[in-house]
Chain A
Amino acid sequence: MKMLKAIVRPEITDTIADALAEAGFYSMTKINAFGRGKQNGIMVGSVHYDELPKTIIMLVLEDEAVDKALKIIKYKAYTGNFGDGKIFITPVDRVMTVRTGETGL
Chain B
Amino acid sequence: MKEIIIVIRPKKVNATKEVLTALGFPSMTAIPVLGRGKQKGIAGEVNIEYRPGILEENKSGGMKYVPKRYLSIVVSDENVEAVIEAIIKVNQTGQFGDGKIFICPVEDAIRIRTDEQGNEAIS
Q: In the bound complex, how far is the Cα of B2 from the Cα of A96, in angstroms? A: 14
Shortest CB-to-CB span from B55 to chain A, Å, is 15
| Contact (Cβ within 8 A) A26 B99 | no
Classify chain A's interface size.
Answer: 20 to 34
B104 interface neighbour in A26, A30, A91, Cβ under 8 Å: A91
Q: Which residues of A contact B84 (CB under 8 A)?
A: 96
| Contact (Cβ within 8 A) B95 A98 | no
| Contact (Cβ within 8 A) A3 B102 | yes
Q: Which residue of A lies closest to B84 (CB)?
A: A96
| Contact (Cβ within 8 A) A29 B7 | yes
Q: In the bound complex, how far is the Cα of B103 from the Cα of A95, in angstroms? A: 6
Q: In the bound complex, how far is the Cα of B99 from the Cα of A27, in angstroms? A: 11
| Contact (Cβ within 8 A) A28 B104 | no
In the complex, whether A71 has a CB less than 8 A from a CB of chain B is no
| Contact (Cβ within 8 A) A92 B99 | no
| Contact (Cβ within 8 A) A98 B87 | yes
Shortest CB-to-CB span from B47 to chain A, Å, is 16
In the complex, whether A12 has a CB less than 8 A from a CB of chain B is no
| Contact (Cβ within 8 A) B88 A98 | yes
A3 interface neighbour in B92, B98, B104, Cβ under 8 Å: B104
In the complex, whether B61 has a CB less than 8 A from a CB of chain A is no
In the complex, whether A52 has a CB less than 8 A from a CB of chain B is no
Contact flags (1/0) for B25-39 with A, using CB distance below 8 Å? 000000101111110
* Interface residues, chain A, with chain B CB atoms under 8 Å away: 3, 17, 21, 26-31, 60, 90-99, 101
